[in-house]
Amino acid sequence: MQYFSVVGLCLLALATAQEVPTLSPVTSVKGKQFNRFVTIWLENTDYDKAAGDPNLKWLATQGITLTNYFGVTHPSMGNYVAAVAGDYFGINHDDYLEIPKNISTIADVLDAGKISWGEYQEDMPYTGYTPFEWVNQQTKANMYVRKHNPLVIFDSVSTNKDRLGLIKNTTVFWEDVKNEKLPQWMFITPNMTSDGHDSSVTVAGKWTRDFLNPLLNNTYFMKDTLVLVTFDENHTYTSQNKVFSILLGGAVDKSLHGTTDDNYYNHYSEISTVCANWGLPTLGRYDVGANVFSLVAKKTGDVVRVNPDLQNTYLNVSYPGPWNHKTWAAHPAPNVSLVINGREVLQSIKDQFKDGGNTYYNGSVEVPSGLVPPVLIKEGGAFNGSHGSNGNGNYSNNNGNNNNKNPANAAGKVTAFMPVVLATVVLGWFL
């Protein structure tokens, strides 16, 4: 019986996630410091341990080590969401999550700037796959997980074939390299073994060096490319959430190889650096205040600021929010009046939030955490958190609070695929 339900689940998972055409659009918008941004995310390793890994140490000789770069919360998923949305909205879990269509991400900013983007997720079984996970069919070991695929968590991406087609696996990455069809912004997630999650930093370090080694000698890949190798979070929850990070690639001048940059950065810096480089508008969230990597800031005129309380910056626990399982809080409205070095908030976001709402984003370099919660700047307007109104943003009643790890159920699409269940049950009967 167990066997049949497993088959049923697999069929369901396949049925709910339709393969979509793989897309590799190419653009060549010139940036002030780089023309391509690549980030590779590894998992759950303390700074010192990563810094001591021989392969990561070698990679550090090929670029700049960022010695004060922070993850923003625990566990994993909030960090991935933060890096593309400028906030993690209180996420304090790794459960199945669909963030509603109306929550903007870096994809909106890149699209507005006509900058091609994509994600490469190792072992994602095919383009268009949106369920919770995919395991190795022989060993049942974890391979692909949705929680490490930041943009697919957003319905604005996962329900749009033209965007979903840009989220590919690493098989397609190597094809895109060969065909010179890489996007200008990309997020790379190794599988659960390769990224260190189910293994060790030794495995993650070796994977990363093996992955980058041929690319470092590939002139098409390297030309004006900035690569950020980072970790989602530090392993030890009670210490500061500092993670080992390296900037490398053709955009890092040889004279900087083997150097360190001690400025304060966090996952929001990934967004601010990209916006500064291409002169793009912002998301109006924590991305606005985040430091731009100093080698880029030198070209864009951004000021790299000091975190006045770095010693006490932990970023190790989530503040309340619409997708916090413990303490709910209304969806915060972006602060549409923030301007940083001439960059305003994306027009479509300004239009969406013209009636205001509860705002916490003040453009400061410091970001809140569960220990130092967000401070309300302005209350009121359409998204003020009032209970019972349509504007209260309590998505937890819908799909935002779905604990169900069954991808098919979690996707809320079970009924549409009942025939598949029936067929499986009937098949089970006869076998």
Active site residues: 198
Residues in the chain: 431
**Binding range to ligand NAG, per CB under 6 A, among 77-85, 105-113, 212-220, 423-431:** 212-220
Q: Closest approach of Cβ 29 to ligand NAG, in Å? A: 27
Q: What is the x/- site pattern for ligand NAG, positions 254-293, by CB under 6 A?
A: ----------------------------------------
Residue among 62, 193, 230, 277 that touches ligand NAG (CB under 6 A): 193
E strands, 196-346, in order: 225-231, 245-248, 259-266
Q: Which of residues 329-358 bind ligand NAG (CB under 6 A)?
A: 331, 335, 337-338, 356
Q: At what angle do helices 418-430 and 2-16 cross, to 10 degrees?
A: 150
Pick between residue 116 and residue 191 the one whose CB is nearest to ligand NAG. 191
364 binds ligand NAG (CB under 6 A): yes
Report yes or no: 367 and 266 within 8 Å, Cβ to Cβ: yes
Question: What contacts 29, CB < 8 A, 6 or more positions away?
Answer: 35, 113, 114, 115, 184, 278
Locus of tokens 């690319």? 215
Q: What is the DSSP letter of 288?
A: T
Side-chain-side CA neighbours of residue 218 (13 Å): 15
374 binds ligand NAG (CB under 6 A): yes
Q: Is residue 412 within the footprint of ligand NAG (CB under 6 A)? A: no
Q: Beta strands 117-121 and 167-168: pairing type? A: parallel
Structure tokens at 328: 């709910």
Nearest to 9 by CA among 383, 405, 430: 405
Q: Of 379, 405, 422, 426, which lies in the binding site for ligand NAG, with binding defined by CB under 6 A?
A: 379
For 217, left (φ over 0), alpha (ψ -120 to 50), or beta? alpha
Chain residues 163-192 in contact with ligand NAG, contact rule CB under 6 A: 169, 171-172, 191
**Is 22 near ligand NAG (CB under 6 A)?**
yes
Half-sphere exposure of 380 (CA within 13 A, CB side): 2
User: Is residue 116 a contact residue for ligand NAG (CB under 6 A)?
Assistant: no
Burial of 123 (0-12, 13-18, 19+ CB in 10 A): buried
| Residue closer to ligand NAG (CB basis): 348 or 364 | 364
Which of 200, 348, 386, 409 is close enough to bind ligand NAG by CB under 6 A?
Answer: 386
Closest CB to ligand NAG among 35 and 241?
241
CA distance 11 to 426: 13
Give the interface segment with ligand NAG, choosing from 28-36, 91-99, 268-276, 384-392 (CB under 6 A): 384-392
Choice between 226 and 349, CB closer to ligand NAG: 349
Q: Residues 128-147: x/- map of binding to ligand NAG (CB under 6 A)? A: --------x----x-x----
Confirm or reject binding of residue 306 to ligand NAG (CB under 6 A): no
* Position 395, amino acid: Y
Is residue 102 within the footprint of ligand NAG (CB under 6 A)? yes
Cα–Cα distances in Å, from 388 out to 99, 216, 235, 394?
20, 55, 39, 9
Cis peptide before 75 (omega within 30 of 0): yes
Given the rule CB under 6 A, which residues bind ligand NAG?
A: 19, 22, 46-48, 100, 102, 122-123, 125-127, 136, 141, 143, 169, 171-172, 191, 193-194, 207, 213-214, 217, 234, 236-240, 242, 314, 316-317, 328, 331, 335, 337-338, 356, 359, 362-364, 366-368, 374-375, 377-380, 382-384, 386-387, 389, 391-394, 396-397, 401
